[in-house]
Chains A and B, each alone.
Chain A
Amino acid sequence: MSLVSVQGLSVVYEPNGAEPVPAVKAVSFDLEQGDFVGLVGESGSGKSTLGFALTGLSRPPARVSAGSIIFDGVDIAGLTPSQLRVQRHGGFAMVLQSGMNALNPVRSIRNHFFDIFAAHGHVSTRDREARAAELVGKVQLPASVLDRFSGELSGGMRQRVSIALALSLEPRLMVFDEPTTALDVLVQHAVMDTIRELQKSERFTAVLISHDLGMVLEVTERVMVMHDGLIVEDATAAEILAAPQHPYTRMLLSHYGDPRAAVVEVPGLASRGTERATDVAQAVAGGAPVGEPVESQGEPVESQGEPVETPVGEPAPSAPTAVTVRKREGRAARESIVVSGVSKVYPRPSRRDQPVTAVNDVSFTLEPGASMALVGASGSGKSTIAKLITGVEHPTSGTITFGDLRIDTIRRRQLKRLHTEVQMVFQDPYAALNPLHTVEYALTRPVLNYSSLRGRDARRRVLELLETVGLTPVEQFAARLPHQLSGGQRQRVVIARALASDPQVIIADEPVSMLDVSLRAGVLALLDSLRETWGVSMLYITHDLLSARLVTDQIMVLNKGSVVEEGRTATVLQNPQDEYTIRLLDAIPAPRSGAKGGSRHPQESSKKGLRPPATVPTSSPPATVPTSSPPATVPTSLTSPRSPS
């Protein structure tokens, strides 16, 4: 008999005073003892809702409306709360997405364990200290962590503590809901390794809920793909890699690639192999912007083939050929941003701390029309560089110039002049638009502020901008408020706003990290095509090496504020020299490697296409911690991106 048997399970959301929304629609599946199953889907697919139902945590407004969840012969969907509570010991446990906040801030870690032991009485008062120490040991934390409070721990450590707490129930089923999403890239990798090892040694059945198909394929044996409340595909990882059956799975899969490969391709974005040596920067500087679309570029992304590939009504980006290359009348000649020897030191936050060197002696030149990636984990200083270049903050030392404009010492009054030429695309499209203003207002303001266009002309310009970013019919989108737009559409508005001043440079700070995977390529393709057709240069800030490979020609890798490696994107990623770059590359799951053998880096193609756990001593990240001391991991971002769930 299966450990868990789910039959016709439906969950509805019944928000107060609103129409009930079905979140999970009559789903059925079995889980065997010791299975490691991935549950993949994009935001709104119902995967987390299903995970909460599996562990008996559905709370209003969510409600299990039909079906059964038979766990070891008992239907937990029909249990009373107190019966359910007793079942949790030796039953089912859950690790929440936001493990950062899963710990009671006013209770020591030790007491968290003791509370669980007391609730189920499975560990005697005499043994509980030893048992708690043993449990934190299993997640590679020292026993001294028991004395701490959650505020004193890093994000990765908190998530490890959550896992240890869940483990203390001695569960037979463990559900991990996006366990690493809020963590830094390198920490993610280490925590996932721990989960994998625990699953092997403790032999519980594990369900890994994630939006990241790549990671799930790498870690789990069996994958269920969820879309719109239904499980559309349920197969082994190998089967899904080799022959995905459902078009939605195929679409998801198509958005993965190995940035190290010679040819990288996702729908709508051209591969950028080494052969693509046409230096766009030179072409633009020479006065003839590249108008010719390169390879498959600009092809509408979301509208190819099956209807399932058009999620959330995302409009197709307009083909760049539809927009003529803009002339820059009456403007100064195109200028480079020259950053030389720039450092930024923040004063120590409190007396005990050291001053923080966010950026350390960084120099580079962003040529007109160039596309450069700035990559690194959180805390590497990449966002600080964006603030320095846009004049939001001033460097401690070094100079930044844009033509004759000194950005490093710029005054508040001159900022407007700088922002005419240097604009920014923000990370979070939900935060970057004022919820009270229409799209037209958001776009009209910079047009009025930066051009002499007024009235009818200004409005025509606004509609033009909307068309450029593919938000058609333009009149309709102009009248909308941000909450009436999807995430991808919002990000297009943000891009249109950045273009409104007709800038020479766009700083894009993780522009797609908050979007669903299937929407990312569309926005990236838009940015890329705009760069070519408008001739703007782009500084693309990201932790995602695959997207850097897709839209940039040059790359700089930052670690703790210093540039550790730079060069042509394809060259650096295919042949990384610095250990940090290698670690970043290793942290990327690469599910397509098996399906597309041959395109892989030779040393990596082994074990049915999945990369083996990082066992190579040289590249083993220190994030897989020594057991004696708290892990000295890479600084974890406090403002980790929200996961799209």
Chain B
Amino acid sequence: MTPTGTTRPTRPTTSAVKTISQGNHDAGANPLRVILRAFLTIWSVPKARIGVALLGVFVLLAVFAPLLAPYGATDNSFDRSEDMSAAHWLGTTAAGQDVLSQIIYGARVSVFVGFVAGLLSTIIAVLIGLSWGYLRGLAGDVINFIVNLFLVIPALPLMIVIAAYLQNGGIGMIVLVVVITGWAWGARVLRSQTQSLRSRDFVTAAVFSGESPARIVFREILPNMTSLIVGSFFGASTAAILAEAGLEFLGLGDSTTVSWGTMLFWAQNSNALLTGQWVLLFAPGLCISLLATSMSLINFGVDGLSNPRLREGATR
């Protein structure tokens, strides 16, 4: 059905024109180049572009919080439970803190947890997914069972239980808990991709070219899974951000840190619902949602990479 015999859904890349005398023979060797290429691919999808922009805003907010916030995050020298005003755009909390400053500083925790927990989960997912994709027989079955167990066990209750034992462990504890419960999905996806790639002829051909197993995994198979790895990173990050907020909302984190989750915890506990200070509920939650949405939107770009059918507008 394809109009030309050579049409294949592979992206044309700038690396094609790379001169070959550089001694570096790999099209995907330079990590900077890889990141740039991945970024451009994601950027080319409109939905993902919105996500990237949104995420960029939150990252900037987190990094430059001290410069952007009008007051300190824990400064409680203001009148309590004030409404929105010129001095306090979003009002103050029941403890007399500036809500806007807390929102801005709160981005730090969410972005940090999302990034670190997402990254750690993804690393575990890649390691287990790759080796599991290679294992057969009993060892493979055992890992299969363990991964499926982690997939079906409800993550949040498990997190709650672990967090209850490790009392008030702070952000480090939350990251740990999120990683323990968050790697399984990525591992499963990467496993099946590894299995399908390893049976491809080009992997067999690499064996015939005398390549070592490590090189086959890291230079032949891994680069072909970039989109899935990036996808599972954003997926794990989203889950981590939501889980972090949920745990803090339950009061299971360190309730003195300033984060969107603890803001909601205090809002609920100080009966912001009864006093009618809806901004206290609305603003932190909206930020969590937008941050999570930005990652889901970016994943549309990643999806488009691996599944051309999902590209927009290609109607039936």
Binding site for B on A (CB under 8 A): 13, 15-17, 21-23, 42-44, 46, 48-49, 52, 59-62, 312, 390, 392, 415-416, 419-420, 423-424, 426-428, 430-438, 440-442, 444-446, 449-450, 455, 459, 475, 478-487, 494, 497-498, 500-501, 516, 644-645
Task: For the complex, give the distance between the alpha carbons of A433 and B224 in Å.
Answer: 12
Out of B3, B21, B220, which one reaches A434, CB within 8 Å?
B220
Given known pairs A16-B313, A59-B316, the reply for A438 and B27 (CB within 8 Å) is yes
Chain B, residues 11-54, CB within 8 Å of chain A (1/0): the string is: 01101111111010111100000000000000000000000000
Those 6 A-B pairs whose CB atoms lie nearest each other, nearest first: A449-B210, A483-B10, A44-B5, A43-B5, A446-B209, A431-B201
B200 in contact (CB, < 8 A) = yes
List chain A residues, Cβ under 8 A from B77: none
B19 touches A479 (CB 8 A): yes
Q: How far is the CA of A166 from the CA of B27 in the complex (A)?
A: 48
Give complex CA distance A455, B16 in Å: 21
- Is A449 a contact partner of B211 (Cβ separation < 8 A)? yes
Given contacts A455-B23, A644-B5, contact A431 B210 (CB under 8 A): no
Q: Is B10 a contact of A481 with CB atoms below 8 Å?
A: yes
**B80 at interface (Cβ–Cβ under 8 A)?**
no
The closest CB in chain B to the CB of A312 belongs to: B5
B227 → chain A, closest Cβ, in Å?
12
Ordered by A's residue number, 27 sampled pairs between the chains whose C-beta atoms are within 8 Å are A16-B314, A23-B3, A43-B2, A48-B1, A60-B315, A392-B204, A420-B210, A431-B200, A431-B201, A432-B202, A436-B224, A438-B25, A449-B209, A450-B210, A459-B20, A459-B21, A478-B20, A479-B20, A480-B16, A481-B15, A483-B8, A483-B10, A483-B12, A484-B16, A494-B205, A498-B208, A516-B5
The smallest C-beta distance from A156 to any residue of chain B, in angstroms, reads: 23
Measured between alpha carbons, how far is A484 from B14 in the docked complex, in Å? 12
Indicate if B4 sits at the interface (CB-CB under 8 A): yes
Q: Is B72 an interface position by the 8 A CB rule?
A: no
* Interface flag for B158 (CB, 8 Å): no
Q: Which residues of A contact B224 (CB under 8 A)?
A: 434-436
Known contacts A16-B313, A312-B5, A475-B20; A437 and B27 CB within 8 A of each other: yes
- Smallest Cβ distance from B222 to chain A, in angstroms? 10
Q: Which of B198-225 contact A (CB under 8 A)?
A: 200-202, 204-211, 220, 223-224
Instruction: Give the residue name and chain of the A residue nearest to B199 (CB).
Output: A431
Nearest-neighbour CB distance to chain B for A391, whole angstroms, equals: 10
Q: CB distance A437 to B26 under 8 Å? A: yes
Interface contact A52-B205, CB-CB below 8 Å = no
What is the bound-complex CA distance between A444 and B314, given in angstroms?
40
CB distance from B135 to the nearest CB of A (A): 15
B25 touches A479 (CB 8 A): no
Q: Are B311 and A16 in contact (CB under 8 A)?
A: yes
A346, chain B: closest CB distance, angstroms: 14
B3 CB contact (under 8 Å) in A46, A416, A428, A487: A46
Bound-complex Cα distance A392 to B315 (A): 45
5 new A-B contacts, CB < 8 A, other than A424-B205, A483-B10, are A392-B207, A449-B209, A481-B13, A481-B27, A500-B209
Q: Any chain A CB within 8 A of the CB of B85?
A: no
- Tell me the complex Cα distance, A588–B28, Å: 45
Q: Are B210 and A479 in contact (CB under 8 A)?
A: no
Q: Is B6 an interface residue (CB 8 A)?
A: yes
* Residue pair A441, B27 in contact (C-beta under 8 Å): yes
How many Å from the CB of B120 to the closest CB on chain A?
26
B8 near A390 (CB under 8 angstroms)? no
Contacts of A21 in B (CB 8 A): 3-4
A445 touching B19 by the CB < 8 A rule?
no
Residues of A within 8 A of B3 (CB): 13, 21-23, 44, 46, 49
C-alpha gap A63/B20 in the complex (Å): 42
Query: Which residues from chain B contact A480 at a C-beta distance below 8 Å?
Result: 16
Q: Of B5, B10, B16, which is within 8 A of A486 by CB? A: B5
CB pair A312–B6 under 8 Å, yes or no, is yes
Q: Which residues of A contact B201 (CB under 8 A)?
A: 426-428, 431-432
Contact with A along B148-174 (1 / 0, CB 8 A): 000000000000000000000000000
CB within 8 Å of A: which of B269-316? 311-316
- Report whether B1 and A52 are in contact in the complex, using a CB–CB cutoff of 8 Å: yes
A52 CB, nearest partner CB in chain B, Å = 7
Evaluate contact between A430 and B8: CB separation under 8 angstroms. Answer: yes
How far is it, in angstroms, between the C-alpha of A21 and the C-alpha of B201 when the chains are bound? 31
* A23, A392, A449, most chain B CB atoms within 10 A: A449
With the chains together, A309 CA to B25 CA distance in Å? 35
CB distance from A203 to the nearest CB of B (A): 30
Q: Which residues of A contact B2 (CB under 8 A)?
A: 13, 43-44
A431–B27 CB distance below 8 A? no
B223 contact set on A, CB distance < 8 A: 436
Which A-chain residue is minimally distant from B315 (CB atoms)?
A60
Q: Report B-chain residues with C-beta under 8 Å of the C-beta of A392.
A: 204, 207
- Contact A431 B202, beta carbon cutoff 8 Å: yes
Return chain B residues, CB-CB under 8 Å to A440.
20, 25
CA gap between A432 and B211 in the complex, in Å? 15
With A and B bound together, what is the CA distance between A427 and B25 in angstroms? 26
Q: A419-B207, A419-B210 are known contacts. Are A60 and B316 too (CB-CB below 8 A)? A: yes
The residues of B that contact A430 with a CB separation of less than 8 Å are: 8
Chain A residue contacts of B200, Cβ below 8 A: 431
The residues of A that contact B27 with a CB separation of less than 8 Å are 436-438, 441, 481
CB-contact partner of B210 in A312, A427, A445, A478, under 8 A: A445
Contact A415 B207 (CB under 8 A): yes
- How distant is the Cα of A478 from the Cα of B27 in the complex, in angstroms? 12
Q: Which of B15, B19, B208, B210 contacts A424 (CB 8 A)?
A: B208
**Chain B residues within an 8 Å CB radius of A478:** 20
A366 to B: closest C-beta gap in Å: 17
Residues of B within 8 A of A433 (CB): 202, 205
Rounded to whole Å, the gap between the CB of B55 and the closest CB of chain A is: 24
Which residues in B have their C-beta under 8 angstroms from that of A444? 25
Give A65 Cβ to nearest chain B Cβ, in Å: 13
When distances are taken between beta carbons in the complex, the residues of chain A under 8 Å from B209 are 419, 442, 445-446, 449, 497, 500-501
Docked complex Cα distance between A440 and B26 (Å): 9
Rounded to whole angstroms, the CA-CA distance of A523 and B50 in the bound complex is: 49
Given the contacts A44-B3, A60-B316, A440-B25, A445 and B10 also touching, CB distance less than 8 Å: no
**Of all chain A residues, which has the CB nearest B21?**
A459
Whole-angstrom CA separation of A434 from B219 in the bound complex: 10
The closest CB in chain B to the CB of A23 belongs to B3
- With CB as the reference atom, state the residue of chain A lying closest to B23: A455
Q: Which residues of A contact B26 (CB under 8 A)?
A: 437, 441
**A421 smallest CB distance to B (angstroms):** 11
In the assembled complex, the Cα of A645 lies from the Cα of B2 at a distance in Å of 8
Chain A residues closer than 8 Å to B5, beta-carbon distance: 42-44, 312, 486-487, 516, 644
CA of A438 to CA of B311, assembled, Å: 27
CB distance from A483 to the nearest CB of B (A): 4
